Amino acid sequence: MDSTASSLLLCPPPLLSLNKPNATNVSSSSSSSSSSSSSLVFDSASMRSQSKIPTQFIWPPCDRLQRLDELNEPVIDMREFARGDASVRRRSAALVRSVCTSHGFFQVVNHGIDPSLISAALESMDAFFALPLARKSKARRVPGSMSGYAGAHADRFSSKLPWKETLSFRYGNDGSGRPIVDYFASIPGEDFARMGEVYQKYCEAMHGVSMAIMELLATSLDVERTCFRRFFEGGSSIMRLNYYPPCQEPDLTLGTGPHCDPTALTILYQDQVGGLEVFTNQKWHSIRPRRDALVINIGDTFAALSNGRYKSCLHRAVVNQQSVRRSLAFFLCPKEDKVVRPPEGLLSRGGGDGGCGPRKYPDFTWSELLEFTQKHYRADTTTLQAFIQWLLSSSAS
Ligand SMILES: C=C1C[C@]23C[C@@]1(O)CC[C@H]2[C@]1(C)CCC[C@@](C)(C(=O)O)[C@H]1[C@@H]3C(=O)O
Ligand SMILES: O=C(O)CCC(=O)C(=O)O
Ligand SMILES: [Fe+2]
């Protein structure tokens, strides 16, 4: 993104005091793993009908600017890419290259996911989030972990709280065991076994789609077809269920604030309500829900893997007065100790011939970036730049 132009339209990036949590950004406790200074509890069952929302949920006007247009993102047919001849594959790859060098958002259809699995995943969300707060809290995110239930992240942050509840869990693709079934079985006080089966299957299916997309991205960057698939072997991805209750003052708050995903690739299924918005060409654009499609976006880790050639783009989710909105986000992540470095095939071509010039980011590991977003910095508009500064300053000291 052009930072000069966008600074006229977006909130200025937070002033960084690296290594230390930013008091306006991260809750004033020493890290995300400590308890919050605010005593706010997000009980959506009562808050959804409150005529005035608590001030902690009010976002600055620059973050709330209204969207103007729909995004005209391409829709890629995955079956055609998998089975088509060389010219069909080249055409899909060219489309993906063009959109990823611009904003990194596209949709995929014919992805092979059974619609009944998606319905089951949405129904299980409804069942989980409809539970009384005390029951959901049994699955509360343990400080320092990526897994668990969170209400508005009120235990981590003290301002700009997102109007949402989330349930997150990890999906390891090392082929050992059934981690999600085990995770749900470990939540006390409720029989979550069926939910565990649903999300285990859902994540296995999402992992399959993510690997097909990695082949598409490799083809589009003209590097060896399997190089990104291999890069993600043994990784532990993150699955997040986002549940956005109705809000009586939807124009003052956000369901998920403006951010780029720090992860590598996001595969999102949004229900038919709508609310996902992307900032490109100096405007917020909505992504119209498609029942048959998955929304794909490039995250910061893949942007770094492509040496900045592919963009990780700013996006957010808005809420509304009438309907609950649900989204299922699968965040593809490499193995924690994997060094994020562009493939040689890309670097050796330099700046011309579809290459990407000199290195734009130093080597880092996914666990360093994940730790940064969980302990030192709340993922927002400038996570990757802030992370690189933090990394360089911590290695210098
Ligand atoms: C590694 C991650 C951090 C966040 C979850 C995720 O798995 C990918 C996206 C990140 C997030 C959604 C970006 C917006 C702010 C955030 C706090 C949220 O609103 O949920 C972010 C996630 C986080 O839990 O830190
Ligand atoms: O709910 C959505 O549409 C987007 C959520 C999102 O961007 C995220 O969870 O990272
Ligand atoms: Fe996101």
Q: What residues are in contact with ligand 1 under a 6 Å CB criterion?
A: 153, 162, 238, 240, 256-257, 259, 261-263, 331, 370, 373, 378-379
| CB of residue 317 inside a 6 A radius of ligand 2 | yes
Q: Which of 57, 373, 374, 382 to mutate to test the pocket of ligand 1 (most atoms within 8 A of CB)?
A: 373
Query: What number does the ligand 2 atom closest to the CA of 331 have?
Result: 10
Contacts of 366 (CB under 8 A, 6+ apart): 235, 301, 333, 334, 335, 336, 337, 338, 340
C-alpha R_g of the chain: 20
Rounded to the nearest integer, the mean pLDDT of the chain is: 90
Give the CA count within 13 Å in the CB-facing half-sphere of 262. 23
For β-strands 75-77 and 105-109, DSSP reports them as: parallel
Query: What pLDDT is attached to residue 264?
Result: 98
Instruction: Give tens-digit pLDDT for 333-361.
Output: 999 999 999 999 898 886 666 667 789 99
Q: Is 165 a pocket residue for ligand 2 (Cβ < 6 Å)?
A: no
Q: Ligand 2 centre from 224 Cα, in Å?
A: 31
Nearest atom in ligand 2 to the alpha carbon of residue 315 is: 7
Q: How far is the CA of 198 from the centre of ligand 2 (A)?
A: 20
Residues with CB in 5 Å of ion ligand 3: 261
Give the CA dihedral 121, 126, 130, 133, nearest 10 degrees: 40
177 vs 196, residue with greater confidence: 196
Which ligand approaches the C-alpha of residue 316 most closely?
2
pLDDT at 309: 96
Q: Which of 89, 240, 325, 378 is catalytic?
A: 325
- Please report the pLDDT score of residue 357 as a whole number: 75
Q: What is the per-residue pLDDT for 28?
A: 34
User: Per residue in 41-60, pLDDT tens?
Assistant: 999 999 999 999 999 999 99
Using the atom order of ligand 2, give the atom closest to the CA of residue 270.
Answer: 3
Whether 242 is in the pocket of ligand 2, judged by its Cβ within 6 Å, is: yes
> 314 CA distance to ligand 2 centroid (A)?
11
For this complex, say whether ipTM is above 0.90.
yes
Contacts with 317 (C-beta within 8 Å, 6 or more apart), sequence order: 164, 242, 244, 254, 255, 256, 275, 276, 277, 325, 327
Instruction: Compute the distance from residue 260 Cα to the ligand 3 centre, in Å.
Output: 6
Task: Say how far apart CA 9 and CA 112 lie, in whole Å.
Answer: 39
pLDDT at 144: 83
Round to whole Å and give the CA distance between 370 and 280: 25
Q: Facing residues of 119 across strands?
A: none
From the alpha carbon of 162, which atom of ligand 1 is closest?
19
Question: Does the annotation count 178 as an active-site position?
Answer: no
